[in-house]
Amino acid sequence: MTHPAMRIALYGALFFVVTSATIFWTRFAGGLALVWVGSALAAALFLTLPRVHHLGAFAILMGLSTAATALFGFGPAWALPLAVANIFEGWFIAWLLVRLRPQRDFIESEGGVASLGFWAGFVGPLPSAIVGGLMAVQIVGGTWLFHAFSWWVGHGLGTLLVLPLALLLQSYRREDFANMRDRARVLAFAGVVSLTALVSGFAFHQSAMPLLFLPIVPLVFASFRFRRFGAAIAVLVISVAAAFSLGMGTGVFAELAMPLWQKALFLQFYLATLLLIAFPMAVIIQQRQRILDELGDREAMQRLIADHSDDALLHLDSSGTIRFASPASTRLSGRGSVEQLHLAAFFSEFDRKKVDRALDKASRHPGRTEILERSVGRGGKTRWLEAKLRAVETSGRKVCGFVVTIRDITARKLEELEMTREARTDTLTGLPNRRAFLDILDRRLDVADQEPFGLAFVDLDHFKQVNDTHGHAIGDKVLSEVGAIMNGMASDTFFFARLGGEEFAIIVKRPLAEAAADICERLRLAIAKHPMADSDGKAFTVTASLGFAMISESCSASMALQAADAPLYLAKASGRNRTCRAQGFGRLTRGGAPIEQARIAVAG
pLDDT digits over 480-533, tens only? 999 999 999 988 888 999 999 999 999 998 766 567 788 899 999 999 999 999
pTM of the model: 0.51
For residue 511, say if its preceding peptide bond is cis, omega within 30 degrees of 0: yes
Lowest pLDDT segment from 39-43, 265-269, 498-502: 265-269
Q: HEC states along 472-497?
A: HHHHHHHHHHHHHHHHHHCCCCEEEE
CATH node for 309-416: 3.30.450.20
CATH class of 427-603: alpha beta
Q: CB 292: neighbour CB atoms within 10 A?
A: 10
Question: Quick one: which of 571, 561, 563, 565 has its CA closest to 601?
Answer: 571
Q: Are 575 and 599 in contact (CB under 8 A)?
A: no
Domain coordinates in residue numbering, the chain: 1-173, 182-304, 309-416, 427-603
- Judged against a pLDDT cut of 90, whether residue 198 lies above it is answered with yes
pLDDT digits over 456-488, tens only? 999 999 999 999 999 999 999 999 999 999 999
Q: Are 462 and 544 in contact (CB under 8 A)?
A: no
- Judged against a pLDDT cut of 50, whether residue 176 lies above it is answered with no
- Judged against a pLDDT cut of 60, whether residue 602 lies above it is answered with no
Give the three-class secondary structure for 587.
coil
Question: Quick one: which of 525, 564, 562 has its CA closest to 548?
Answer: 564
Give the three-class secondary structure for 114.
helix
Contacts of 570 (CB under 8 A, 6+ apart): 547, 580, 600, 602
Mean pLDDT of 359-364: 91
pLDDT digits over 127-168, tens only? 999 999 899 888 888 888 888 888 888 888 788 878 888 887
Question: Model confidence at 268, in pLDDT bands (50, 70, 90)?
Answer: confident
- Selected from 1.10.10, 1.10.1760, 2.30.30, 3.40.390, the CATH number assigned to the domain covering 1-173 reads 1.10.1760
Q: Could you give the CA distance from residue 577 to residue 459 in angstroms, rounded to a whole number?
A: 9
SS3 helix, strand, coil % of the chain, rounded to 5?
60, 15, 25
Burial 24-55 (b: 16+ CB within 10 A, else e): eebbeeebbbbbbbbbbbbbbbbbbbeeebee
Under DSSP, the state recorded for 121 is I
Beta-strand relationship, 544-551 and 579-583: parallel
pLDDT digits over 45-59, tens only? 999 899 999 999 999
Asked, colleague to colleague, whether 1-173 and 309-416 share their fold, the answer is no
Q: Could you give the CA distance from residue 158 to residue 162 in angstroms, rounded to a whole number?
A: 6
H-assigned helices in 471-599: 472-489, 516-529, 557-573
359 alpha-carbon distance from chain centroid: 20
Q: HEC states along 416-459?
A: HHHHHHHHCECCCCCCECHHHHHHHHHHHHHCCCCCCEEEEEEE
